[in-house]
Structure 1
Amino acid sequence: MTGIIRLLPKTIMVLLVATILIGGATSCKSKKKLAKEKAAAEYALKVDQAKKDLTAIIDGSTSWTSAQMEERLAKIKSFNIDDEDVKSLIEQAEAKIEDVKAAEIRKAEEERLSREEEARRRAQQSEFAVVDNQFMAVASANGIDDANNKIRMALKYFETPDIPVLIIISQSGGFNDYDRPTTISKFLNYLKDKKDYKYRVVSAKRNSMDKITELELIVK
């Protein structure tokens, strides 16, 4: 009996150790299962988000630039997603990005040309402002003597009183429709009589002395 009592604590200890070992093994398996399930869920989310982003790129339903699209595409590729749908979408997205890049280049070039044209137009306006002002001064002169004096001042900008003046009355399809040709002298006297300057200088040819040899106007 005494021997049995002495053996009891050892038996209990063995059972306790066995219980702990079994419990530990079960807990370890549970943790591995949870980790595996978590990894699978995260992967599924990546696949779903990748499909959404790739589809958005292909459909053009985002405001992303081509650079932002490329950045997102590179991120998706870094996931190494083994999914046939994703792989197909990646190929389509790559083609779409190339189209977007080409469109951006065209737009940038169009904007550059537009800015240059606007700069030229403003420069021309500044260049011809003096001539336009001379013509307006003739048209708004106070009486015949004042008008004749303004005409003499205006003629100083021209090579001769007989240089040709071309007047554009309409434009269509890149072509100009002109009024009957006249000379600067006749045009200035016309302004004196009409008392109205409804034109704008659009081009002028000059000689080596910077005198105007041909003038082109357009009706406003």
Structure 2
Amino acid sequence: MIKRILKVTFLLMIAASLGSGMSGCKSKKKLAREQAAAEYGRKVETAKHDLLSIINDEGNMSLQEKESKLQRVKDMNLNEPEILALIRQAEEVIDAEKEEMRRKWEEENKKKTEATSLSLADYFALVAGASSVENANMKINEALKLFATPETPVLIIISKEGDIVDYDRPTTAKKYFEYLKDQKKNLNEIDNIEYDNNGKIKLLELNKKDY
């Protein structure tokens, strides 16, 4: 009888131990799920905050900072409709800013080209119409400061049909000014100017005035 009681007691203890272990295991899994959910929620809030800071920025953040923030959010791989919609809005903001920067750059470059064109046109006329060789040489030296080097290529267009362009024999900035000095005639107009990173002319294309 005593043996039977001991056996039953032992079995009950084992059952209780197993039940406690299973309960503890379930609690750990539940805790892990809760922690994962909390971490995911924090990621969503961080992503939302970063995206809204891009969308609502009023000039306090550089384009590079915006692109970096956007990429960090994308790297989170959050498949939340709200986050995906905000990502699209942030991309639109960044694309619009890039387009505005490109437009401003083109406007500035156009103004720069026009200003330089006027200066070159003036120098062409001054050299061709110089009253003396000394005066012509002085104007040539001034004009050459606009170029990357005195050997900067100068191309003269002699014919153009669609995208096909024929040029006269290539010359250089210095040689072209010497030509103007000798001929005392300015027969070409500025067609295109290309600049180097220092704002100096690295290529000049001219059109014959009677072309």
TM-score by length of 1: 0.46
Rg comparison, structure with higher value: 1
